[in-house]
Amino acid sequence: MKKLVGICLLALAGNVAAEQTSFVNADASIYSELCIAAVTSTDMLDKKAAEFKFSKEDLKKFSCNGMELDDFVKKFGPGSGSKDKDIKVFAFEKSMQNTESDICVAAATSNEAFAAIKAKVGRSDDYFKEIHCNDIPLVRFARKFGNKDFKLGK
């Protein structure tokens, strides 16, 4: 009987832990799959990286919700203490390495990330109104890819 109670408690604890945070591949990309694998475990990341033929260098060429892969794992991975329930994961390839693509990534990530890059760039709102990301105006792009509350101005 004690063994049965112990097994039930372990199963219940496992279900509670599993329900704490769930990750959703919001852009249906292999990059987001890698982000999700990374917060699951190192073994899962290695398996996914091998499946998609990604080297260690390739894992540095995209961001997860606007963060480097290592920072994303620190924030949401096992032992991070994250209290978030459902996390939509968006990944952005960093191959272009230009200001406009950084602006697009920041806008889609969060208003805070956008405010930081806006301050760094030091341009007026008119400049940002002219930016298109994947042929989509910046505001619509940001809202479509994760930042539903995106605004150019304060």
H-run or E-run covering 23: strand 22-25
CA torsion sign, 138 to 67 to 84 to 46?
positive
What pLDDT, in 10s, does the model give residues 98-123?
788 889 888 987 888 888 889 888 99
Q: Which of 104, 144, 105 is nearest to 128 (CA)?
A: 104
Three-class DSSP category at 132: strand
CB burial readout 11-41, b (16+ within 10 A) else e: eeeeeeeeeebebebebebebbbbbbbbbbe
Beta-carbon contacts of residue 131 (< 8 Å; ≥ 6 apart): 100, 103, 104, 137, 138
Beta-carbon contacts of residue 55 (< 8 Å; ≥ 6 apart): 49
Q: Which of 85, 92, 87 is nearest to 30 (CA)?
A: 92
What pLDDT, in 10s, does the model give residues 64-96?
887 889 988 998 888 777 777 778 787 777 665
pLDDT of residue 39: 94
